Amino acid sequence: METLKAGASQLGIALSEGQLDQFETYFHELADWNRRANLTSISGYEEVQVKHFLDSLTVCLAARDILDGPVRVIEVGAGAGLPGLALKLAFPEIKLALLESVAKKTAFLHHIVEKLGLEGVSVYTGRAEDLAREKDLRDAFDLVVVRALAKLPLLLELSLPFCKTGGRLVALKHGGDWTEQESAANALAELGGQIERVSTVVLEGLTDDRVVISVDKTKPTPARYPRAVGIPGKRPL
C-alpha cells in the first residue's frame, strides 16, 4: 500500500502500518467478492489504491475538521463502502452508517466490517427515499458523504435529509465544471443547503477533473423531502 501511503501523506494523513494492513485486507476481500458480486469495475492493485482508497480520502479536503472526532458519518449509496469505510480506517473514532439499496452489496459490507473487526459501523439495506424518514437517521449526522451517486440536484434530495442542521455534506464528483452547481440552486434553497466551497483534487493518478463539493446544512429539510421512490429522478428540483 505504498501508493496509498504516499498519496494520503499529500492530504496530510499519516497512515500507520496497522491501518495500511487493514487497507490491504480490504483490497483482497474486495477483489475476491468482486468475482461474484460485481462490486466495482476498478480491480487492479495500484488502481484500487488510487482510484478507490485515495479518492475516498479526498473527503478530507472539505471535512478534515469534522473527521478528527467521534462524529456521526453516513454514506448514501455506499456500494462497496467507498468512501465511508476508507474514512473509517483512516479515522477510527468516527461512528459510521453505510446505506445501500442492493442486498448483495450490503452482504459484502457486513462481511468486510466483520473481517476488519470494525466497531461503530452500521449497515442499512434500503432506498434513501425510505430510510431518510427513519427517526434515528433523519437530521442525525454531522457529515454525509456521497461518491458518484447522481447529478447534484438529485444527490442533494437523497442525501441532505440525513444531515443535521449545522452539519455538512461532501460530494465527490468528476468533470469539475460549474454546470451542475448552477443547476442545483433551486434544490439547495428547497432542501436547506448552501455550497460552502468546491475544491479541485490535485493528486497524481486522480484525473477526470475531480472536485470535492462541500455543502453546509443551513436549516432543516422540509418533511416532504425526499419525495417517493422514482420521483426525484424523474422530476429533479
Look at residue 176 in the predicted model and tell me its pLDDT: 60
Retrieve residue 225's grid coordinates.
423531502
**Residue 103, phi then psi, degrees to nearest 5:** -65, -35
pLDDT along the chain (237 residues), means of 10: 95 97 97 89 92 96 91 96 98 97 96 97 97 97 91 94 98 74 91 93 83 95 96 92
Instruction: Provide the H-helix boundaries in the chain.
Output: 2-10, 17-37, 45-47, 55-57, 60-67, 84-90, 103-115, 128-131, 152-159, 179-183, 185-191, 231-234
pTM to 2 decimals? Answer: 0.95
Structure confidence by residue, pLDDT tens digits, 144-193: 999 977 889 999 999 999 999 999 999 998 866 566 778 899 999 999 99
Domains of the chain from N-terminus onward: 2-234 (3.40.50.150)
Look at residue 177 in the predicted model and tell me its pLDDT: 56
Look at residue 116 in the predicted model and tell me its pLDDT: 97
Q: Cα separation of 233 and 13, whole Å?
A: 36
Look at residue 178 in the predicted model and tell me its pLDDT: 63
Retrieve residue 129's grid coordinates.
427515499
Which residues fall within 8 angstroms of residue 237, CB to CB, at 6 or more apart? 153, 156, 157, 186, 187, 190, 191
